[in-house]
Structure 1
């Protein structure tokens, strides 16, 4: 009788214990981009909770699936380096390669990729280029912040005109700024107008794939822009979260 009772308790513990161990995530950022010509979508998210503390990154799903935080599905990249499509997409990341910590200042930067990883994600060919940390970081220009008067969209790029720098002390003015699509983020106001456009603009050499430039740019319109004035190609849109 005791053995039977112990078995029942053990089964109940395993069943309910699994539920107790399930992590409850609080998502604080979520963006979605439709992958052109495909039923797939790519999410970029940030969440808090559980042993992983603050998981963030990209997850590819079918558009019929509901987004859930799954740390095993996070792509091993920091940024996209091109516009995803139905057959191929790519991203970049970095590893130390002897340039982390105290060795950083004594090491020479290498801008070409150190390693290439290829795999299939949701039946789409995926390439991950891994760069030396110093080579990667020396082309990272940090945050730029502008207000702009008007813009133009092409298939692969966004052009902004009459920009004023609101980040630096000297208040730089630009007549024109071009950013590549792929990792463009649209933040929406309550009335669905565009509140901000955030561009993570990665430039790789077309032949060597060396890192040429990494820019993080926040762009705020001086006047109202409707959400539908921008296409879906290469553009993430904010998903409102109800945790």
Structure 2
């Protein structure tokens, strides 16, 4: 009887190790950008696992590697602040520094980075500036949504023209909107036509590195735009997820 129980227990351990030891992730968001001047790519992803656990963030892989969620290789920052290239990747994160919960409302905002951490992943230098949460949040604008008529691209920026605000009640009009490249996401329709452009823009002061502005913008084209009309520099493309 003891031998039988031992065998059953051993089989259970083997099954548990194979089936439950490795997390199974359901990826619901995946974007990829080539890191200029290297063979590497940077992914932005969101995935769900067992017990409603959520993994999200950035990962660097070689361009020939298949993407898999790996907690140990998620990059330390929450948002990019510059265009990734062979010289490095710069991003920002935030922490409480005494401003979370009730103390938030009585604390003084600090806009300069509290500390800067530098590491290296896959031979690429990472610079992560960590800000006080209140300083970060006070420069974060609400979600903006526009439809635009046309656009123009330069090396480091995208310009959008004749925009109509579709988020606010006032429905304001903009003749032009300039956004910096780095964390721009392209969402496609089935025929490689651009469905929408998502901009997560972080502006830091060139000398003090203080947060000046953080914007989240959704842009929908009035006219057809296709994938090949935009360069790869500083732009993430949606990756088709097969389930």
TM-score bracket for the superposition, by shorter chain length: over 0.9
Q: Deviations over 1:183-228 (max 9, x none)?
A: 0000001111111000001000001110000000000000000110
Q: Name the CA distance, whole Å, in 2 between partners of 1:41 and 1:154.
A: 21
Matches of 2:52 and 2:213 in 1, distance apart?
31
SS in 2 for 1:104: helix
SS state of the match for residue 197, structure 1?
Answer: strand
Secondary structure at the residue paired with 1:213?
A: strand
Structure 1 segments unaligned to the other structure (5+ residues): none
Q: Secondary structure at the match of 2:58?
A: strand
The TM-score, its normalising length taken from structure 2, stands at 0.95
Instruction: For 1:12 and 1:211, locate their aligned partners in 2 and report how far apart those are by CA, in whole Å.
Output: 56
TM normalised by structure 1 equals 0.95
Provide the residue aligned with 1:50 in structure 2: 50
Counterparts of 1:43 and 1:14, CA distance in 2: 35
- 1:154 is aligned to 2:184: no
Given the superposition, is the C-alpha separation of residues 134 and 24 from structure 1 closer, same or farther in structure 2, using an over 3 Å criterion?
same
Q: Tell me the residue number matched to 1:94.
A: 94
Who is 1:19 aligned against? 18
How many residues align structurally? Answer: 242
> Which deviates more from structure 2 when the two are superposed, residues 44-53 or residues 174-183?
44-53
Alpha-carbon shift at residue 15 of structure 1 (Å): 3.9
Aligned partners of 2:197, 2:120: CA distance in 1, in Å?
30
Partner of 1:166: 166
Summarize the alignment of residues 70-89 of structure 1 with structure 2, pairs less than 5 Å apart.
70-89=70-89
Match of 2:195 in 1: 195
CA deviation map 1:8-30 (0-9, x unaligned): 76765554322112211111100
Aligned runs of 1:4-43 on 2, under 5 Å? 6=6, 12-21=11-20, 22-43=22-43
Structure 2 residue matching 1:116: 3-state secondary structure: strand
CA distance in structure 2 between the aligned counterparts of 1:100 and 1:40, rounded to whole angstroms: 37
**In the aligned structure 1, how far is the partner of 2:37 from the partner of 2:10?**
47
1:126 aligns with 2:136: no
Q: Partner of 1:72: helix, strand, or coil? A: helix
- What secondary structure sits across from 1:136 in the alignment? helix
Q: For the structure 1 residues 122 and 53, does the alpha-carbon distance in structure 2 shift closer, same or farther, using more than 3 Å as the test?
A: same
